[in-house]
Every structure is written in structure tokens, then in C-alpha cells.
Chains A and B, each alone.
Chain A
Amino acid sequence: MDYLELKSEMDNYKVEMSSAERSYKYFNGEKVDHLLYTLQLPEPALANIYGYTTYQMENDINVFKDIIGKRTKRLGIEGVNVRLSLRSIGGAVGSNLVFPEDGLDYIDDHILKDYDDFDKLEIPNPYDNKILTPLLERAKVLKQSYPEMAITTGVVGPFSTAVAIRPIESVLKDTRKDVKNLEKLLQFSVDASLKWIEVFTKEIGPGTASISDPVTCTDILSKEQFNKLSLPYLEKLISGLIEITGKKPSLHICGHTKGIWEDVGKLEISSFSVDNCEDIGDTAEALGDKMLVVGNVPPIEVFRYGTIDDVIEFVKSCIKKAGDSPKGYMLSSGCQVPIGTPIENMEAFVYAVRKYGAGARIGEMPEGTRDA
């Protein structure tokens, strides 16, 4: 279908409840208008769509607010996550972080090349840090501007934080050659992330924190490395988050994770968001009786380069595979929505959830799948 047809079709699927109300009812076993959905960090893509650069969005709160407002209105996605990027803690402790005019931040020089310099690293103070303080200030302004909206935050898994402080090749070699120092670095990563959460919770309020951990996939770490070095620190991070916020965090891991699902299933997390390289049906089967399963429309093949029909088809197949997951299912992109994704495809995603996820009740296949 073309965009005009999509717009006119969309009118057939009216939204009956706010996202907070839908979520509350869904998890309480009531029937809701349609399945829950979200998109992973679509804001940079939306910035371009609405005529801004990502740099403007990051540096001008009014631009950010404009994007959030338009996102909520057009896509029905509520809430704001003022999270640490994969590289924020690295930047906060002295790795050189580059913010391009248009694109995602990246590190061009790591601070910890030699463990002899480890003692010079300090846990960054969110009240007085060139990277963290502006984020905290942003969250404060947003809280004032949107008193009704949930302002949450997120952190990065210990292994993924470690590679923003020390080059990844060194970190990987450390797993064989310098475990003792690597363990110190991983503990530091946990402590730095928890410090941020502690201050954020104090200033903004407790919320469900999200964890992203792209390095913890089996494409990069062996199962043995994961169990020995990643998992223990991920567990420490999670228990710290629960202690501070009182809520189980959510977890997203990019890349292949099937080999570690058994361990993921034992974590104290509220949801697991799976990359599109894994099958959502398999994920729901493995983890669905333990937590909310989230995913996994391919960001590049489908969102960025696919057609409206590709998006609709993929959403439909996800719902058929995971729509009755026992602890709930939430549609999302398999990873961050890429810059350059057309708004039409984001709208097609929302349309398909409303249509094929219609009449949803936790643990049951939505009534909308009968149309599928």
C-alpha cells in the first residue's frame, strides 16, 4: 500500500487508551485495545525527519522537546528516556568523545590504554562532569516541562562500558591475559553506572532503568567469557539498580544471544529486548514465561530500507510468533531505529500493531491476528 492508503487505513484503528493505561491494564490481565509497542531510540531519526541535526537535538532542549512532542502525537510513543549512551561513561572518565553534527557520538581515543593509569580514573560525579551534568540538567528541565510524563534513564552493561574506557581489543585480550585488572575495570563500570542511577533517582525520581549491553552477545564473547566475566558484573549492576530504584530493569542485548538465554532467564529483569538476528518466536518460547519479551522488527532491512508493506508484514509475523507470550509481548525495533528511516515506515509499524495486535490480553493471541 502507499502512504495515502496507509493514512486512510489508519483511521479505522482508533486509539482507545493512553499508553500508561494500556500498559497497566495489560499487565493486570485485562483486555486492551492493542498490544504494547515502542521503538528503540527513534529520536535521532526523527530529528532529521523534522529538519534538525542530531547535534541540535542534543544541545538545544527546545529542539528536543519539539521532537518528543511530535513523536508522541504522531506515533503514540510516550515517555522520555534520558539515558547514558554506550559511550557516556567512557567520555565522562576521559575517553575522547566526538559528537558529529549529524550522527551518533563515538570515541576516537580511549583513556585507559595501560592499567598503570587505572588509579587515575575517578567515578564521575553526575553533578560535576562535562558529559553527565548536561544530561542531568536536561532531565530536570524535562521533568518540569512534562510533570505528567515518565522521565526515565538507562545505563550500559559493564562489559560495554568497559570498552568505552579501554579499547575493545585490549579488553578482549584481558579476558585471557589480565583478568585481575579487567575485573577491576568491570567493577568500576558497575560503580560508575550506579552512581549515575543514584543521582538521577534522587533528582528525578525512581523509574525502570534500561540496560543496553551490545558487547555481551555471543558474536563477541564466548559463553565461557560471558559466564566468567560478563554475567557476574551484569548481576551486580542489576541488583544495584533494584536496590536504588526498587524496580527490575529492562535489558537489551544487540547481536546473537540464544546461547545465553538460559542465563538471561535467571536475571532479575522485567523484560528482554532481542535483536532481529534472533527469532522472536524462539525468544518467547525460551524466556516468555519469565519476563516480558520485546522485539524485533529489523532496523535496517525493514525500517530503513523496507517498504510500508515490508514493515506491516514483519509486524504481523512477530505478533503471530510471540503475541501470546505468557508474561507479555511488546513490539519494537530489533535495535535502534536508524537515521534515515522514513516516517512512513514508523507509522506503518504503529498501524500494523494496532491492526494485528488489536484486542490483546496478556498470554493470549490478540484478536487482530484473526485478520492476519
Chain B
Amino acid sequence: MSKSKEELLKQLSDCVFEMEDEEIISVAQEYLDAGYDPLEGITEGLVDGMNRAGVMYEEEEYFITDLLICSDAMYNGLDILKPHLPQKNLEGEKTYKCVIGVVEGDTHDIGKNLVKIMLETAGFEMYDLGRDVPLRNFIDKVKKVDADLVCLSTLMTTTMPGMKKVVEMLKEENMYENTKVMIGGGPISQTYCDKIDANGYSPNAVEAVKLAKLLVGMGIPA
């Protein structure tokens, strides 16, 4: 007898949460073959698993390595389910767009990658510029996709001033009011955030999601 939808959703969630990045491929396929809704498979299955992993990370039961493997599992599941999603978003539903990258001169991107994964899981449409990103590229991309949020990361003190520069450029181009700037990385602090007029700082990837939602007003009725 084929498995129920609930059973398979639970299995998808568990595969992500328990870091079964290979097993998830067959589970996702089984879910599709049974004719269940791919969107629900993502939100109630994969994303649910990633959220559970995020909670464990917050509780210091999971570490960076665990989140990385959980996210591998999530993306493997997404690869199967995503092509079967209806092409258009539901009308009237606001999509929050976020540009993210490591500022010029720095190639440390593990923190940025984790934040990207967690924001993507939370429903943001992510535009990842990668690492060592020329500062101008942030502005251009924000403009091009009309982003609600820009996330800047760096691990090095030498490249911190790049964040300030991005804020200044947003101000110069009159984009500062509409685009929120979130910063993070080893040497960054709330004090530095205040100093450069960024809109928020978060110490880790899970906190970053809460902050991002708050900054753009996601989930808050208009």
C-alpha cells in the first residue's frame, strides 16, 4: 500500500533534519509519484525539516556542519520537487527579495551561505552575488530586482568599511529608505551596525531570519 501524504511529508522533513541527503531523493520521488502537491512537499516537508534543524542549532545541539548537510538534503529534495511547481506565484502574494554577498576583498563565505539557506527556507527570494563582491554590484543588483533587503557579510576587519560604503551608496542613490541593510560576520557588532547606519545586525543565521522578517515586515499584516 502506498504511503499517506502525511507519512511522506514527515519522511521528507526527517530526511532533512536527520541529514539523509541521499535517501531524500527517493522519498521526494515517491511523494511526487503518489501525486501529492509539490509545493506542500517543500513547505511542509523540506522547509519544516530545515526549521527543525535551525531550532537545534539555536539550542547548540546542531553545529555548522549539521546545518550544511541538512541543507544539502533540502536542496536535493528541492531539485526533485521544484520542477513540478506551477510556474506562477499565487497572485497578490508579496515576494520578498534579498540580495546577499560577501563584500569585496573577502572570500570567507560559509556564514553568508548559511544565512542564504536559512532566508531561502523562510521564503525569501535570494540573489546570491557570491564572495569578494565589488561594492557597486550590490547596488546594481538591488536596483535590478527591486530588492527589499541586502545582506552583507565579512569575516575580515579590513573589508568592514566596504559595508559602510554600500550604505552610503544606497543613500546617494535614494534607495536607502526602501531597501534594508543587514550585516553580519565575525568582527561585526551592533555597535558597528549603528555606526554605519545599517538597519540590523545578527550574530548567527537563525537570528538573521527573525531580523530579516522584522526589517521587511514579512508576516506582518499591512
A interface with B by C-beta (< 8 Å): 100, 102-104, 106-108, 168-169, 172-173, 175-177, 219-222, 225, 254-255, 299-301, 304-305, 336, 338-340
State whether B113 touches A169 (Cβ < 8 A): yes
State whether A175 touches B158 (Cβ < 8 A): no
Other than A169-B110, A301-B189, give 17 A-B pairs with Cβ distance below 8 A.
Answer: A102-B158, A106-B105, A107-B107, A108-B132, A169-B68, A172-B68, A172-B110, A176-B69, A220-B64, A225-B63, A299-B187, A300-B192, A304-B157, A305-B192, A305-B195, A336-B157, A340-B161
The reply on B146 being an interface residue by CB < 8 A is no
Q: Separation in Å of the B83 CB from the closest CB of chain A?
A: 25
- Determine the residue in chain B with the shortest Cβ distance to A175: B65
The reply on B156 being an interface residue by CB < 8 A is yes
Say whether, besides A168-B110, A173-B69, A221 and B192 are in contact (CB < 8 Å).
no
7 A/B residue pairs, CB under 8 Å, sorted by A: A103-B159, A107-B107, A173-B65, A219-B64, A221-B63, A300-B192, A336-B157
The reply on B19 being an interface residue by CB < 8 A is yes
- Determine the residue in chain A with the shortest Cβ distance to B161: A340
State whether B191 touches A305 (Cβ < 8 A): yes
Q: How far is the CA of A320 from the CA of B42 in the complex (A)?
A: 55
The reply on B44 being an interface residue by CB < 8 A is no
Q: Separation in Å of the A87 CB from the closest CB of chain B?
A: 10
Residues of B within 8 A of A300 (CB): 157, 160, 187, 189, 192
Q: How far is the CA of A173 from the CA of B19 in the complex (A)?
A: 11
Residues of A within 8 A of B160 (CB): 300
Residues of B within 8 A of A299 (CB): 157, 187
- Determine the residue in chain A with the shortest Cβ distance to B106: A106
Q: Separation in Å of the A53 CB from the closest CB of chain B?
A: 12
Residues of B within 8 A of A168 (CB): 110
152-167 of chain B: CB within 8 A of chain A: 156-161
Candidate in B72, B107, B157 with the most chain A CB atoms within 10 angstroms: B157
Q: How far is the CA of A106 from the CA of B160 in the complex (A)?
A: 15
Residues of A within 8 A of B68 (CB): 169, 172-173
B interface with A by C-beta (< 8 Å): 19, 63-65, 68-69, 72, 105-107, 110, 113, 132, 156-161, 186-187, 189, 191-192, 195
Say whether, besides A300-B189, A300-B192, A339-B157, A176 and B105 are in contact (CB < 8 Å).
no
State whether B105 touches A100 (Cβ < 8 A): yes
State whether A338 touches B65 (Cβ < 8 A): no
State whether A339 touches B158 (Cβ < 8 A): yes
Candidate in B64, B159, B189 with the most chain A CB atoms within 10 angstroms: B64
Say whether, besides A172-B68, A173-B68, A300-B192, A104 and B187 are in contact (CB < 8 Å).
no
Say whether, besides A173-B68, A300-B189, A338 and B157 are in contact (CB < 8 Å).
yes
Q: Separation in Å of the B214 CB from the closest CB of chain A?
A: 24
State whether B157 touches A172 (Cβ < 8 A): no
Say whether, besides A106-B107, A108-B107, A108-B132, A176 and B65 are in contact (CB < 8 Å).
yes
Q: Separation in Å of the A108 CB from the closest CB of chain B?
A: 6
- Determine the residue in chain A with the shortest Cβ distance to B188: A300
Q: Separation in Å of the A3 CB from the closest CB of chain B?
A: 21
Q: Separation in Å of the A245 CB from the closest CB of chain B?
A: 30
Q: In the complex, which of the residues A104, A108, A172, A222 contacts B158, with contact meaning CB atoms closer than 8 Å?
A: A104
Say whether, besides A108-B132, A339-B157, A172 and B191 are in contact (CB < 8 Å).
no
Residues of B within 8 A of A106 (CB): 105-107, 132, 156
- Determine the residue in chain B with the shortest Cβ distance to A177: B69
State whether A176 touches B19 (Cβ < 8 A): yes
Q: How far is the CA of A340 from the CA of B162 in the complex (A)?
A: 13
Going nearest first, the 8 A-B pairs with the smallest beta carbon separation are A338-B157, A222-B63, A172-B65, A103-B158, A300-B187, A106-B107, A339-B158, A168-B110
Residues of A within 8 A of B113 (CB): 169
Residues of A within 8 A of B64 (CB): 172, 219-220
Q: How far is the CA of A173 from the CA of B105 in the complex (A)?
A: 26
Q: How far is the CA of A339 from the CA of B192 in the complex (A)?
A: 16
Q: Separation in Å of the B189 CB from the closest CB of chain A?
A: 6
Residues of B within 8 A of A173 (CB): 65, 68-69, 72
Q: How far is the CA of A172 from the CA of B111 in the complex (A)?
A: 13
Q: How far is the CA of A222 from the CA of B110 in the complex (A)?
A: 16
State whether B65 touches A225 (Cβ < 8 A): yes
Residues of B within 8 A of A102 (CB): 158
Q: How far is the CA of A300 from the CA of B196 in the complex (A)?
A: 14
Q: Separation in Å of the B185 CB from the closest CB of chain A?
A: 11
Residues of B within 8 A of A301 (CB): 189, 191
Q: Separation in Å of the B37 CB from the closest CB of chain A?
A: 31
- Determine the residue in chain A with the shortest Cβ distance to B187: A300
Residues of A within 8 A of B192 (CB): 300, 305
Q: Separation in Å of the A190 CB from the closest CB of chain B?
A: 21
- Determine the residue in chain B with the shortest Cβ distance to A98: B107
Q: How far is the CA of A255 from the CA of B106 in the complex (A)?
A: 18
Q: Separation in Å of the B196 CB from the closest CB of chain A?
A: 11
Q: Separation in Å of the B143 CB from the closest CB of chain A?
A: 27
Residues of B within 8 A of A100 (CB): 105
Residues of A within 8 A of B189 (CB): 300-301
Q: Separation in Å of the A109 CB from the closest CB of chain B?
A: 9
